[in-house]
Amino acid sequence: MSQIRIFISSVQKEFSEERKALRDFLRGDPLLRRFFDVFLFEDVPATDRRADEVYLHEVERCDIYVGLFGNEYGKEGEKGCSPTHREFDLATRLGKHRLIYVRGADDAGKTPKMQALIKEAGDQVVRRRFVSASELVAALYGSLVQYLDEHELIRSAPFDASYCRNATMKDLDGKKIRTFLIQARGARGFPLPEKSTPMEVLTHLNLLDKERPTHAAVLLFGKEPQRFLISSEIKCVHFHGVEVTKPIPFYRVYKGTVFDLVDQAVDFVLSKIDLAVGTRAHSIQAPVAYEMPPEVIREAIVNAVAHRDYTSNGSVQVMLFADRLEVWNPGTLPPPLTLARLRKPHGSVPRNPLLAEPLYLTKYIERMGTGTGDMIRRCRSVGLDEPEFALTDGFVVTIRRKPDLAFKAVGGITGEVTGEVTGEVTGEVKKLLTVLVGEMKRTDIQKALALRHEDYFREAYLIPALTAGAIEMTIPDKPTSSKQQYRLTPKGRALIAKLAKERDADGK
C-alpha cells in the first residue's frame, strides 16, 4: 500500500517548532510511520521554482491537509491572500481531508484577516485549539488514528486510543475531570473554559471512541481503573539490603488513576529515603533536602506510568534498596530511540500520546522528550551519579543513593531523619515533626515535605502523628474545618529535643 501523504501548513515562521515536532513524531511513531508520509516545506532542497508553486503542488498531491492557524495572517500575494489561505482554499476545492488546528484559547490578538480565515474554516470543518507543540502532537495523533480506523486501515486502534471494553461514561469521575481542567488551565493555559462539560473535555483530548471512553480516559479519570485494567497498578517494595530477599520489610500495591499512582509511588519513596534538615539561621523554616531530588524520582516514575506497555500483564515496580532506587516498567524503547540516544537531546516518541498529554498539561511531565535529560542534569547538580537506563525484560531506571550529599546541600546540618521505624514514632512522623513550625495547614506541611497525595500523607504521616500525641489540631472540635492547622504538642517538642541530643551525641 502506498503511503498517505500529509501536507502541513508550510510558511508561517511562528510554527517552525510545531512543524518540526509533528514531523519528528510522525516519522518516529511505530504505527503512524507505516501509513503516513509527511511533507514539510523546510525539507525541500534548493530548486529553480517559486515557493508558491512548490507548496501548492504539494497540496495537490497530498491526501490530508493539516492547517496551522496562528496570530499572523501572513504575507499577502497579488490577490490579497496569504499562502496559508491559498493552501486552505486549494485543499477545499480539491476535496482533501482537512484537519485545522488553531493556536490559543481564543482569537484575541489575531489579525482581522486571520480571524476571518478561522471563521471561514470553522464553518466547514471542526477546528481544534492548542497551546503547545506537545498538545498539537497529541491532537493530530488522535485524528490520524481515527482516520485509519474510519478507512479500515487498522483493525484496532492503538491501546490508549481504543475503546475500553465494558466501560461507560458512568465509570468516569466527573470531579476528577473538573480538577484536571482547573489544573491544566492554570499550569499550561489549557484552552477550554472552566464551565466545559466532561464530554467536551474528553472530546478535546481525543479520549472518546464513538462517545465511549478509551483506555486512556479510564486510566486518567476512571472511578476504579483497575476494575478494567488490572495490571495498571504500581507495586512498591522496600528492601533493607542490596538484593531482593525475603521477608520483604515493606510491600504495597497502589491503585487509582495515573495521577494517583504517580503521587502515591513518589510519596512512598520520599517516606523511606533520608531527609537532611538545615539550620534556621536565615529563616523560621529550616531548609530540607532529600538524598535524591524529588523531581528525579517523580520523572522516573511518571515516565514508567506514561510510557509502559499496557497490553502486558506486568505492573510498574518501584523497588528501594539500601544503595539504589529501581523503577521498572513492562515496555521497551520505541524506534528510533536507543539507550545511547536517551542521554542526548532527542525527539518525543511517546508510546501512549493520549495518556501522556494530560500528564504534561498538569505538569506531571515537564516537557515531552526532555525527561531523561532533566534527570541527568538534576543528579549531576547535587553530586549524584547519573541515572542508569537498561533494557532487560522491561525498561529499568536506576538511581544510586548517596545520603550524605543531602546533608551538604542544606548548608548547616542539624541532623538526619530516616524512614525506618525507630523508637516511639515512625520515620514519617519524625519527618513531619522536623518541618512543622508554629501552626501550619495540612497543605503547607505536605508542600514542605514535597508530598502530593493527600490520602497517603494522612495515612502515613498525619494520622500517626496525631495518634502518637506528637501534634494536635488548632480546632479540635471541627476536624474538617477549612481553617484547621496543626502544631507540636509538648510530647512532640520533647521528641524533637530528643532527636537533637541523639544527633549531637552521634556527631561527637
Yes or no: say if 148 and 204 are a contact pair by the CB < 8 Å rule.
Answer: no
Are residues 241 and 355 located together in one domain of the fold? Answer: yes
- Peptide bond before residue 336 is cis, with ω within 30 degrees of 0: yes
Q: Give me the count of residues in the chain.
A: 508
Are residues 216 and 270 located together in one domain of the fold? Answer: no
Q: Does residue 415 fall inside a structural domain?
A: no
23-49: b or e for each residue (b if 16 or more CB lie within 10 Å)? Answer: bbbbebbebbbebbebbbbeeeeeeee
Q: What is the CA radius of gyration of the chain?
A: 26
Q: Does residue 414 fall inside a structural domain?
A: no
pLDDT at 419: 39
Strands (E), 214-370: 234-238, 250-254, 275-278, 288-290, 316-320, 324-329
| Model pLDDT for residues 166-220, shown as the tens digit of each residue | 999 999 999 999 999 999 999 999 999 999 999 999 999 999 988 899 999 999 9
Percent helix / strand / coil, the chain, rounded to 5: 45, 15, 40
What cell does 419 get?
Answer: 524512614
Residue 390 CA to residue 380 CA, distance in Å, equals: 19
pLDDT at 1: 54
Q: Does residue 387 fall inside a structural domain?
A: yes
Strand 316-320 to 234-238 pairing: parallel
- Out of 155, 177, 203, a domain closes at 155
Instruction: State how far Cα 285 lies from the chain centre.
Output: 30
Q: What is the DSSP letter of 321?
A: -
**CATH code assigned at 477:** 1.10.10.10
Full domain range(s) for residue 257:
232-405
Q: What is the DSSP letter of 482?
A: T
| Model pLDDT for residues 13-39, shown as the tens digit of each residue | 788 888 888 988 898 888 899 999 998
Q: For residue 51, is pLDDT > 90?
A: no
pLDDT at 373: 87
**CATH code assigned at 113:** 3.40.50.450
Are residues 148 and 169 located together in one domain of the fold? Answer: no
Q: Does residue 74 fall inside a structural domain?
A: yes
Are residues 241 and 197 located together in one domain of the fold? Answer: no
pLDDT at 344: 80
| Model pLDDT for residues 99-155, shown as the tens digit of each residue | 999 999 889 889 999 999 999 999 999 889 998 888 899 999 999 998 998 887 887
For residues 185 and 508, the model is more confident at 185
Report the predicted TM-score, pTM, of the whole model to 2 decimal places.
0.77
Residue 465 CA to residue 472 CA, distance in Å, equals: 8
Q: Does residue 410 fall inside a structural domain?
A: no
Yes or no: say if 245 and 273 are a contact pair by the CB < 8 Å rule.
Answer: no
Are residues 130 and 195 located together in one domain of the fold? Answer: no
Number of domains in the chain: 4
Residue 409 CA to residue 293 CA, distance in Å, equals: 11
What cell does 81 get?
Answer: 491572500
